[in-house]
Structures are given as C-alpha cells and as structure tokens.
Amino acid sequence: MIRRRDVLAGFALATVAALWLADLQATRPDPWMTLAAIGHGLLHPDFSDPAGMLGAAALTVAFAFCGVALGAVTGLLMAPFYGATPVRLACICLRAVHELFWALLLFSVTGLSPLTGVLAIGLPYAGIFAKVFSEYLDDALAAARLPRAVPRLTQLLWVRLPQALPQMRTYTLYRLECGLRSSAVLGFIGLPTLGFQLETAFKQAQYGQAVAVLALFLALILPLRIWMIWRLAPVFLLASVAALMTIVVPPMGDGAVLRFLADIVPAPLRSGADWGGWLDKVFVAQALPGSVATLILSQIALAGAAVLAALAFPAIVPGVVGRAGALVGHAVLVVLRSIPDYMLAFVLLQILGPSMLPAALALGLHNGAIIAHLLGREARGLPQRPDAPRGLTLWAWDLLPRLTASFWALCLYRWEIILRDSAIMGLLGIGTLGFYIQSNVQTLRMDRVVALLVVSVLLTLAVDTLSRRLRRAMQDGPVLRIEASRTLAS
Amino acid sequence: MTAPLVALTDQTLGWGGQAVLRGVTLQVAPGERIVLLGRSGVGKSTLLATLHDRLTKRTALVPQDHGLVGSLSVFHNVWMGVLDDHGTAGNLRCLLWPRRSERSRVEGILDVVGLAGMGRHRVSRLSGGQRQRVALARALLRGGEVVLGDEPVTALDPAQGAALLDHLGGRFATSILALHDVDQALRVATRIVGLRAGGIAIDAPATELTEADLLALYR
C-alpha cells in the first residue's frame, strides 16, 4: 500500500537532493545586457527577409504534416494488434526515443534529406498513436452491443473504428500541434525549419529577426484549430510532400544503410578492441553521469512544473480571477504551452549562460503551463454550490483539494515526458544524456550512440513504470486516461 | 405585517432555457416554516435555487448533493459555511493551521449532528448519512435569518432526521425546506407549498391541511 503522504515526502526529498546536486548558476556575466538587446528586438521585430521566413514556415508545416500522417497511419495499422507483446514492445521503444535523437540517428542513414525529418517525427509518433488508438478501440468495443460473435475484422471496421473515429480525429489534431513543435525544434539540429532560423538569428544576435521568427511560429500554431480543415487534409498533405521535394539535398555516399548497420555494432566486436575499455568509456564515463544529470534536471523541472501548475491553474477559472482575468490567464498559459521547451531553453540559455538553470526553467514553465491548463479546464467544469466562495479562498478551500487526484496524476504523467525532454537538453551543452549522444554522433561512434540510446530508453521505461504504479496507488476515483482526456485541451 | 423576505410574482422558473414552473407567486415572511412538497423532478430544487438567489438576508443552504469537498476534513467542510466572514489570508491560514478556538466552535456543532470527535476525518471516507450531517453542520455553523434545505435529512433515519429538523428550526427564524415525507412536513411546517404539474397546487397553513390533501400531490 503506497500512501500519498509517503510519495509526497519522497518527492520532496528527491527535489532537495536534486537542487543540492544541480549546477543552477547564472554564469552569464551580464544577463541584463542580453535581456536589453532582446527587449530591443521585441520592440523592433525584423521582417526584412519574408521569403526566407515564409519558406521556413512552410517547411515547418510540411514536416509536421508528413511526420504526423506517417505516424497516424502506421499507428492505426498497429493499434488492433497492440495487445500482442512484440507490437507493444516495439511501440514502447519507438516512442521512448525523442524526435531529436531519432534525427541524430537517421542523419547517418538518410543524411540531410527530408526523409530524416519525416521519419524523426513519424517513428516516435507511430508508437504513441498505436497506444492511444488501441485504447480508443478498446473503449469503443465496451460501449457497443454486438448481436453475436462476429469476426474480428468486421467488428473492427463496422463497430469499433466508426465509434472511435471522432476521438481519433481530435487526438490527431492535438498531435499535429505537437508535430509543429517537434518540426520547429528539428531546425536546431540542421533541418530547414523555423528552429534553424531562430538559432541562426540568435547566434548572430539579430534579436529583431529572432522575435519575428518566434511571432511567425506562434501565428502558425495558435490558430491551428482554425486553419486545419479536415476536408482539405489531402490537399495539405500533397502540398507538404511537394514542399519537401523542393529541398536541395547534399548527396549521400552509396551504401549508407549497410555502413550504418556495421557502425552500430559495438567496436570490440568489429575491431577486436578491448571490451573493458569500451564498456568503461560508454557506461561509466558517459551513461552514468549523463543519467544522473538527466534525473537531476527532470526532478527539478518536475517540482517546478508542479508548483507552477498548482499556483497557475486558477488563472483560467473565472470564479477565482474574474472573467477578464481568465482570458489573460488563458492567453499566457497557451503561449507558454505552445513554445517548445527546447526552444525556450535555448532562448533562456542565451540570457542566463550555460548551466542547468535555463533548461530547468524552460521545462518547468512549459510543462507547468500544460498541467495548469488541463487542471484549470477541469476546475471550470466542477459543479459548485450556489453559495461557494470566490477568489483565492475558492482556490485553496475548494478547487485545490477537489483536484488533488488529477493534479498528482497529471504531474506523474508528465514526469516521463519531462525525463525524455531532459535527456535532449544535453544537445544544448548541459551534461544530460543528450550531450554524450551528440558528442558521439560528432565523432561518428554510432555504436556508443546506440548504447546510450538504450540507456535512455531504459531510464524512460523505469520512470514510466514507477509513475504508472504510483498513479494507480494514489488515485481515488476511476482510471484517468490522460492521453484520451488531453484531446479535449484546446 | 412585516415586509416579506422574498417575493415572487407570476414568475416562470427554469434552467437551461426550459421552463420548469410557470406562474409562480410566492411571498415568504420572516418566521415562517415553509415545506415544499411534490414529486421528484417537479421543480422543488429550481424553486429553492431561485429563492436562494433572491434572498438578501444571510442564508444557509443544505444542497441536495451536499456540496462537500471530499479530500478535505470534516472540520474544514463545516468551516466552509463561514468562509465569507473572514478575509482571504485568514482563510488560507485556517486551511493549514486551524486555531483551537475554530476547532472547538466546529466541534460544538458536530456534537449536535452526531459527529462528535470526527472533525479530522476526511469527508471522502464518510458514509452518505455522515456526509449529509456534515452539510447540515455547515449550515448550522453558518447560521443566519433563513435556511434553505433540499431534502436535508433524506439519508438519515427518521428519529435522527426529526431531531435535526428541530435543530434547524431552533437555529433559524425562517426555514424553507424541500421534503418528501408528508408526516414530517405536517410536523415541522407552519405553511406547506405543494408543487404539481409545473405550478403551485397547494399553498396553505399546515394546520388547514390533512395527509390526504398532501398525498394528492403525488398522484
């Protein structure tokens, strides 16, 4: 029997330990100088290169469309077989590797071609889609009353699929929003999307341009539900494929696939080198410190997100902040939620200098805003007594205690996602697993890359299992299917 | 005659754009003990909600679904009745560290409703009858001129229910209660309002009504 109090104490202890171990200094000599320059950029956005920016925006959308389409179709095909252990394991591994890691891995097979970006989004998304779609299909079966035993395929096509279709559609729309974020972030490692433009502008201290890119990204992602018209989806998809075809690709040498397959075989097997040295280098010198840093960062980020969510969710509840306040709160939370955490971390890194602080802040803000938004929506839907209090008293006396179960479930659910994202923060130079993975990619040691990816997958799985067990032990009411309920978030 | 606490004149009441009661005319004078009777779904809760909205005097409410916060303690749920008497800072403090005086004030009420010593229990662990008593305790602690109750004692046994209705009568000068037990209604009411077929069918002093008159409401 796991008690909530014990979980809370363990969580607090882990956070204190993580804060003690973490390097959270703002090392930048004068963050105010950069801030002032960015502030100047905010006031003077630079739209002087509309062609380049619009091209990058189009490609951002194109990568997202093709990647999500690939993921959704593959996921839909796998969903009916999700109960089979091999399929489930394959899906777990697909989604445990972050899009950026997939891209790093695929660079050595498909090079800088658009296929890299599409696969980097499509592969992990296929794993996620398969899981969520299978849950929808299961629910649909429970709801339907079938006359007699009918064949599985008939059952699927006639009963389960039609019933699950509306949910699948909403979920795909939500995933498309995630896909836009992933696509933009892929620009940071070289694909020609808005992330690339943002990174370039920042590195050249062209803050006006950076602000313009960010504004364009928000203008794209915020009204997604307005411009995404389902009947036009085939047109969008064809246009996306066409747009991706226009990308000029540097030639790849022949036999890239075979070379890659040979490269991922551990060096001692290939060249007869010493196993001891290889294992020591990969696991003791890289995987261990990388995992520790990943766990520390994710713990701090999770604690930050939890605190932010608990404090900020009433920002969209009219009973607490009033009607106008709820509109403002909604705007702030949606913008925070829409900017990818990696992008936010990159920007904060330019201001605060290299340490864990920018990454922890970015992860905490982004995930905290997501949890706050979901909680706030639930809070708005709670039935209230006619004589219920208002303002902060309503928050503390009514909403927070009634939403505790959801709050913990959401935090535990985001834990796994925060861990995955903490690992990739290493690409920004913080010592998490991503840092070691990238340095091995740069020295073309693909065997080490794969070994470290396996470590990161195992870490994600361990946290996922623990989180699921805690969620089950701590929940008061019925099972909360968070992926399913997320589809309602708009 | 004193001014009425609340007055409705030929009103159409409903919710969600649908009329539940039509042509409602009703005045409530201070000191009256009104009982609303009628089949379930006839509009008793709608009428109570309207009266609650119109009343300007301090009013305590016992809603049908209790309106409790399951994850908080009995003490906190009872104290919710007087949250609007205190500032936000004081309320936050009381949520974390209730004062001894606050606890003993609530304990006195819990004694009345038969939950003595249960102040620290979580409401989600209580039975249906215990929850109803928490809701009653909240109203009793709140006090005021008027109490509005929507089936406030349905989950209790007859003896307990009768005793608690008497307590409500002792604490509040005016009461408007929706009940479903005709005997109970005749015992506590000075005036009975019977609802039937989307309107008020009976509105008379309790002494002028017989059980048979009231049972007609349910036919």
Of A393, A401, A476, the CB nearest to B69: A401
**CATH classification at residue B19:** 3.40.50.300
Question: Taking CB atoms and an 8 Å limit, are B67 and A405 in contact across chains?
Answer: no
User: What whole-number distance in Å separates Cα of residue A399 and Cα of residue A391?
Assistant: 11
What tokens were used for A167? 């949910």
Examine the fold and report which residue of B112, B143, B174 is the final residue of a domain before the chain moves on. B143
**Topology alike, domains A1-28+264-490 and A45-254:** yes
Nearest C-alpha of chain A: how many angstroms from B13? Answer: 16
User: Token pair 């036009």 is at which residue?
Assistant: A232
How many Cβ pairs within 8 Å bridge chains A and B? 51
Over its C-alpha atoms, chain B yields an Rg (Å, rounded) of 18
Antiparallel, parallel or unpaired: β B33-37 and B191-196:
parallel
Which residues form the domain of B91? Answer: 68-143
Asked: is A45-254 a CATH 1.10.3720.10 domain? The reply is yes
User: What whole-number distance in Å separates Cα of residue A233 and Cα of residue A210?
Assistant: 30
Cβ–Cβ contact B124 with A under 8 A: yes
Whether B63 is in a domain gets the answer: no
Domains in chain B, number: 2
DSSP secondary structure letter of residue B68 = -
The answer to whether the CB of A193 falls within 8 A of the CB of A103 is no
Q: Are residues B124 and B152 in the same domain?
A: no
What pLDDT shows up at residue B81?
Answer: 87
- Residue A353 CB: number of other CB atoms within 10 A? 17
User: Token pair 């009433």 is at which residue?
Assistant: A314
Summarize pLDDT for B183-216 with one digit per residue, the tens: 899 999 999 999 988 889 999 999 998 888 888 8
The answer to whether the CB of B50 falls within 8 A of the CB of B17 is no
- Predicted TM-score (pTM) of the model is 0.82
Q: Are residues B92 and B128 in the same domain?
A: yes
The answer to whether the CB of A484 falls within 8 A of the CB of A167 is yes
Q: Are residues B129 and B186 in the same domain?
A: no
Instruction: Give the sheet arrangement for strand B191-196, strand by strand.
Output: B59-62, B146-150, B174-178, B33-37, B191-196, B199-205
Q: Which fold has domain A1-28+264-490?
A: MetI-like fold (1.10.3720)
Which residue, among A359, A69, A56, has the nearest Cα to A187 in the 3D structure?
A56
Of B59, B63, B88, the CB nearest to A385: B63
Domain ranges of chain A: 1-28+264-490, 45-254
Q: What is the ipTM of this complex?
A: 0.71
Cβ–Cβ contact B80 with A under 8 A: yes
Q: Are residues B100 and B116 in the same domain?
A: yes
User: Token pair 């936010």 is at which residue?
Assistant: A344
User: What whole-number distance in Å separates Cα of residue A372 and Cα of residue A336?
Assistant: 11
Cβ–Cβ contact A222 with B under 8 A: no
Of B49, B71, B92, the CB nearest to A392: B92
Instruction: Tell me the pLDDT of chain A (490 aa) as tens digits.
Output: 567 788 889 999 999 999 999 888 777 667 788 888 888 888 888 888 889 899 999 999 999 999 999 999 999 999 999 989 999 999 989 999 999 999 999 988 888 889 999 999 999 999 999 999 998 888 776 555 555 556 677 667 776 787 788 889 999 999 999 999 999 999 999 899 999 999 999 889 899 999 999 999 999 999 998 999 989 999 999 999 999 998 888 777 778 888 888 888 888 888 888 888 899 999 999 999 999 999 999 999 999 999 999 999 999 999 888 899 999 999 999 999 999 999 999 999 988 888 899 999 999 999 999 999 999 999 988 888 888 888 888 998 899 988 988 898 889 889 989 999 999 999 999 999 999 999 999 988 999 999 999 999 999 999 988 988 888 877 654 455 555 454 443 3
Q: Are residues B189 and B94 in the same domain?
A: no
